[in-house]
Every structure is written in C-alpha cells, then in structure tokens.
Amino acid sequence: MKLTDALTHLLITVLLSLCYALSFEAVKTLSNPVQALLGLANPQASLLFFPHGVRVVAAYLFGWRSVAYLFPVKLCYATWVFPEAELAAQAVTALTAQIGCVLAFVCMAKLGIIARDWTCAMMPWKSLLICGCAAAAFNALFVFLLSNYSSFATAKHFLGDIAGLASVMVIFMAGFRAWRLRA
C-alpha cells in the first residue's frame, strides 16, 4: 500500500470518527434529556439515535471498508456505554451494527432494489432510507441475539435507529439545500 493510500484511509477514518462522535454526543446532550423529560428514559436505547445515520451513510459510501473505518470510534463508545463488559464483548458490539448496515446494502442490491455496486452509484434518498431501515432491522436482530435485552428494548433500538437516520437525512438535505441556495 502506498503512503497516499494509507493517508487517505486515515483521513476517512478520522472524518467518519468525528461525525460518529458528534452524533453520539448529540444523543447524550439532546435526545436523552428530552427522552428523560418525557418519562421515557432508558439506558438500553435512545429513541433518537443519530449515529445510525452516520453508520448508514458510511456503509453507502465505503461498503465493507466502513466496518474498519468506524471500528476505533465505535469501540471507544462501546467501552463508555458498556464499561462492565469485557473487551471482546465491546469489540463485538462495535462491529455488529456496522456489519448489519453493510449487510442491509448487500441484501438490497441482491434483491435489485439498489444498484449492485452501490458505492459507485448515485442513490435516491428513498433508497438510502430503505437500506437504513433494513440496517436497523439487522442491528435490532444482532442486539436481540447477542444481549439479554428484552424484545421491547430491542424494538426501541430499531425505532431509535430509524428516527435517528431520518433526522440525520433531514439535517443533511436541509444543509445541502441551503448550500445550493447560497451559491
């Protein structure tokens, strides 16, 4: 691997890590307090989980490489969320959600819903949302199978992932529209 390739991968890792960290901090500072105010506090799931939007966009842009790109920051947050868990369990937690995101894109491509080589094709926002919902389903399945969460807590994971993805997409679309109007 050339030095420029290594630097490119490092830059992508840093930028995705920043996006993931900012989205996770937004959950802690915005979503969780509102959830607690409404009497819906739950340490197992956030009803508006912004990082799912980052995971989905990363899977769309980088495919299987997104698993490696997001692993360091996801491991960092997994150790924060589950400090009592062993490192191996935290690593599995860090890997499964992103693997689920990529699997969702692979399945949607196999079903013909999106292009076979989705990382090189423009994707309508509706297709991205469908893939994100499928990714939320994979994530909920992995959470249910790998943890001792109830089916109710798993359903909250699923709904929080979808709501977070929709929020991130609305923010991005509004930002891009404002950028276009400004130019």
Task: Tell me the domains of the chain and their CATH numbers.
Answer: 3-182 (1.10.1760)
Question: Please, are residues 31 and 47 in contact by the beta-carbon 8 Å criterion?
Answer: yes
Arithmetic mean of pLDDT, 121-136: 93
Arithmetic mean of pLDDT, 154-158: 90
What is the model's pLDDT at position 42?
67
Tell me how far apart the terminal alpha carbons of the chain are, to the nearest angstrom.
38
Cβ count near 81 (within 10 Å):
13
pLDDT reading at 174 higher than 70: yes
More reliable by pLDDT, 89 or 126: 126
Cβ count near 71 (within 10 Å):
17
What is the model's pLDDT at position 53?
95
Given CA atoms 88, 90, 94, 96 in this order, what sign does their dihedral have? Answer: positive
pLDDT reading at 19 higher than 90: yes
Note the pLDDT tens digit of each residue in 34-79. 888 887 776 667 888 999 999 999 999 999 999 999 999 998 888 7
CA distance 139 to 145: 10
21 phi and psi, to 5 degrees? -65, -45
The 3-class SS string of 71-130 reads HHHHHHHHHHHCCCCCHHHHHHHHHHHHHHHHHHHHHHHHCCCCCCCHHHCCCCHHHHHH
CA distance 167 to 128: 13
What is the model's pLDDT at position 16?
96
Arithmetic mean of pLDDT, 2-31: 93
pLDDT mean across residues, the chain: 89
Given CA atoms 128, 69, 10, 114 in this order, what sign does their dihedral have? Answer: negative
Question: Please, are residues 95 and 67 in contact by the beta-carbon 8 Å criterion?
Answer: yes
Considering the entire predicted model, what is its pTM?
0.90
